[in-house]
Structure 1
Amino acid sequence: MTRYRVIMESVASTPTLLFHVAFADDWEACSRFGEYSVATRGVPFDGVGAIYVCEYADIHSVLKSRYSDVSEPLLLVSISTAALVSEGIDFTLSPAPRILEELPMTDGVVAATFPIGEGHEFPSETETAALG
């Protein structure tokens, strides 16, 4: 497993943004403490020691496989890999993207949050990049 705590220019294949699907209620509850501590649906960070994230191309499959039965409001959280590196937050892309620490809910690290629609609609990659 490769951990990234390096200068971004030396990791050319690292995506600019990673994405996490969050329950809006979980996101709001964690915001009171300034750190997001949910790994994935129903699993706290302490349960697995990582926050599950994905690249943009994988968002639809994550929604379909993990959230297809959900009616509660969801958020798509875009996370800046450059900010993770600059803040010294460990993350990995292999074998699957994971953030290896609780996520600081700062403006730099969290590039943007987007509501996910009832039909699992979410912004295009261009829209997320423009706002992130």
Structure 2
Amino acid sequence: MRIFHIATAADWQAAEESGSYTTSTLGRTLAEEGFIHASRSDQWEGVRAAFYADVAEPLVLLEIDTDLLDVPVVEEVPAPGISETFPHVYGAIPAAAVVDVRPLEA
């Protein structure tokens, strides 16, 4: 399965250098949040509009192949009052599991 994650270009560059991606969401680490937020293909644009619209630094869209992960991916409701589930990655994402990186236009 393919899932998606919006990242700053700087966070992705750091992940390429270290070999793993550990940013949960904008300004929060995996250690702070407990998982990495992700989206399905039909969700990432809405996530971008809701949470990244005011971000001035360059963003990229990571396409992650879940078959290449060695940590659980769980479909969960992100907050009370929301009925739609989102994939949450419970561990670091190996850079090798990211099969495509697309720059997102401002």
TM score, norm. by length of structure 1: 0.70
Matched, 1:62 2:47: yes
Q: Which has the larger radius of gyration?
A: 1
Distance 1:72 1:29 in 2: 15
Distance 2:68 2:14 in 1: 23
Counterparts of 1:95-114 in structure 2, within 5 Å, are 95=77, 96-106=86-96, 109-114=97-102
Q: Give the letter aligned to residue 102 of structure 2.
A: F
Q: Displacement of 1:100 after TM fit? A: 0.2
**Structure 2 unaligned spans of 5+:** 78-85
**Structure 1 unaligned spans of 5+:** 1-15, 119-132
Matched, 1:35 2:20: yes
Q: Give the letter aligned to residue 76 of structure 2.
A: S
Q: Displacement of 1:47 after TM fit? A: 0.3
Distance 1:67 1:81 in 2: 24
Shift >2 Å, 4+ stretches: none
Counterparts of 1:7-46 in structure 2, within 5 Å, are 16-46=1-31
Q: Displacement of 1:59 after TM fit? A: 1.1
Q: Displacement of 1:27 after TM fit? A: 0.8
Matched, 1:91 2:86: no
Aligned residues: 98
Q: Give the letter aligned to residue 94 of structure 1.
A: E
Q: Relative to total residues, which structure has the larger strand share, 1 or 2?
A: 2
Q: Displacement of 1:94 after TM fit? A: 2.6
TM score, norm. by length of structure 2: 0.87
Q: Percent identity?
A: 29
Q: Displacement of 1:111 after TM fit? A: 1.2
Distance 1:50 1:61 in 2: 20
Matched, 1:74 2:74: no
